[in-house]
Amino acid sequence: MKRKTKLIHGGISTDPATGAVSFPIYQVSTYKQEGVGGHKGYEYSRTGNPTRFALEELIKDLEGGHAGFAFGSGMAAMTAVMMLFNSGDHVILTDDVYGGSFRVMTKVLNRLGIDSTFVDTSNLDAIGSAIKPNTKAIHLETPTNPLLKITDIEEVAKLAKEHGLLTIVDNTFSTPYWQNPIEFGADIVLHSATKYLGGHSDVVAGLAVVNSKQLAEELHFVQNSTGGVLGPQDSWLLIRGIKTLGIRMEETEKNTAAIVDFLQGHSKVMKIFYPGLETHPNHIVAKKQVRGFGGMVSFDVGSAENADKLLSKIHYFTLAESLGAVESLISVPARMTHASIPIERRAELGITEGLVRISVGLEDVDDLIDDLNQALE
Ligand SMILES: *Cc1c(COP(=O)(O)O)cnc(C)c1O
């Protein structure tokens, strides 16, 4: 099955009970048993729900893994994955990881004895020197947010295997349409499905896919024990969103290429971060592992003041956190999504006050470019 077909026919696309072509929303908590323990595969909806299961099967197919799991948010998915580890374990993560991922590692999971180190994972030596006897996993985000750094998944997974570590990849930015980390040796793939998978700014959800039976059993145990599951209504919204992921990503790619081209020629734009640019330091690695570069672009306008001027004039880019929806969004990471990262760390990473991040949507690209042009002037 080709990718666009799989988005529509993957998983359990039709309800086996009724033939309904849109998988039904099983709005139910419990299931009648014919005798004690005699059920049809479902006992209680925290443990399993048919609509959630249809979504979990779909994301499993899309990522080419062994099993999928749906959670109430991307952070709930990540936390559940970290619950595979024990007190005293250590995890290495990408340094400009999503702000919420940094926060859960350094303010919540640290209290439970799960230790973390943040390194530039695009540098294999930096990962190597961070590995300790108690290291259990390497968590990558590629491309990263907001600097669009790229990590070579295959090389990291190789290094991880040599040391008996799990490779976890947050695939939110690329989506399974453009990048499949399991193909390159990753063990676990995470998604904030709130973004491109949902695609319409109307649902908060998280997904995880694991590549082995053992990890599937362990993660299902955590999911059922800690209970951060996705409800049936939101599971259905995601299934619906995913059907159009292919055409949305293709169109986003075209719009983004045109916008990057425009930004490159603009005198008020100091620096552009986009992995599709040949001048991007990891462009070659990106080309190896992604089929598309995505709709996220960051650029530096020099100062907080310039960023504020741009924001006050822009019409079609909505000032908001989040990304990956039909509407174009704009944000200033230093004061929004990455505000929870201490200022010294932001400076180290290069998340400057003048850095503006856009998530390119599906409006007519001529309108988007005109809008950026008048706001930059
Ligand atoms: C948004 C996001 C998350 C967190 O997901 P939520 O659904 O907001 O909990 C994690 N990783 C990345 C890369 C994100 O963009």
The stretch 95-116 carries a mean pLDDT of: 94
pLDDT reported for residue 246: 98
The stretch 176-204 carries a mean pLDDT of: 98
User: Of the residues 6, 136, 195, 243, which is catalytic?
Assistant: 195
Phi/psi of residue 39, each to 5°? Answer: -120, 175
Asked about 195 being catalytic, the answer comes back as yes
Say which residue, 340 or 222, is predicted with more confidence.
222
The stretch 238-249 carries a mean pLDDT of: 98
Q: Is 373 helix (H, G, I), strand (E, B) or coil?
A: helix
pLDDT reported for residue 355: 96
pLDDT reported for residue 348: 84
Q: Counting Cβ atoms within 10 Å, is residue 267 exposed (0-12), middle (13-18) or buried (19+)?
A: exposed
Residues 6 or more apart whose CB falls under 8 angstroms from that of 364 comprise none
Architecture of the 246-376 domain: Alpha-Beta Complex (3.90)
* pLDDT-derived band at 321, boundaries 50, 70, 90: confident
DSSP 242-267: HHTHHHHHHHHHHHHHHHHHHHHT-T
Q: Ligand 1 test: best mutation among 73, 94, 95, 98, most atoms within 8 Å of CB?
A: 98
What are the pLDDT digits (tens) for 267-295?
Answer: 999 999 999 999 999 999 999 999 999 99
Cis before 143? omega within 30: yes
pLDDT reported for residue 55: 98
- Compute the distance from residue 325 Cα to the ligand 1 centre, in Å: 13
98-102, 193-197, 214-218: segment of lowest average pLDDT: 98-102
pLDDT reported for residue 26: 97
Q: Determine whether the shortest distance from the Cβ of 99 to ligand 1 is under 6 A.
A: no
Q: Determine whether the shortest distance from the Cβ of 170 to ligand 1 is under 6 A.
A: yes
Return mean pLDDT, the chain: 96
- Residue 211 predicted with pLDDT over 90: yes
Q: Note whether 55 and 238 are within 8 A (CB).
A: yes
What are the pLDDT digits (tens) for 141-185?
Answer: 999 988 999 999 999 999 999 999 999 999 999 999 999 999 999
The stretch 99-105 carries a mean pLDDT of: 93
Q: Determine whether the shortest distance from the Cβ of 105 to ligand 1 is under 6 A.
A: no
Asked about 52 being catalytic, the answer comes back as no
pLDDT reported for residue 125: 97
The stretch 93-105 carries a mean pLDDT of: 92
Q: Note whether 78 and 67 are within 8 A (CB).
A: no
The stretch 204-225 carries a mean pLDDT of: 98
- 107: DSSP letter: I
Asked about 98 being catalytic, the answer comes back as yes
For 162, the enclosing helix (H) or strand (E) is: helix 153-162
What are the pLDDT digits (tens) for 34-85?
Answer: 999 888 899 999 999 999 999 999 999 999 999 999 999 999 999 999 999 9
User: Of the residues 26, 60, 89, 98, which is catalytic?
Assistant: 98
Q: Residue for token digits 């695609």?
A: 199
Side chain identity at 64, as an amino acid letter?
G
Q: Ligand 1 test: best mutation among 142, 192, 341, most atoms within 8 Å of CB?
A: 192
Architecture of the 3-243 domain: 3-Layer(aba) Sandwich (3.40)
Domain ranges of the chain: 3-243, 246-376
Task: Give the whole-angstrom CA distance, residue 284 versus residue 22.
Answer: 40
Q: Determine whether the shortest distance from the Cβ of 144 to ligand 1 is under 6 A.
A: no
Task: Give the whole-angstrom CA distance, residue 26 versus residue 231.
Answer: 9
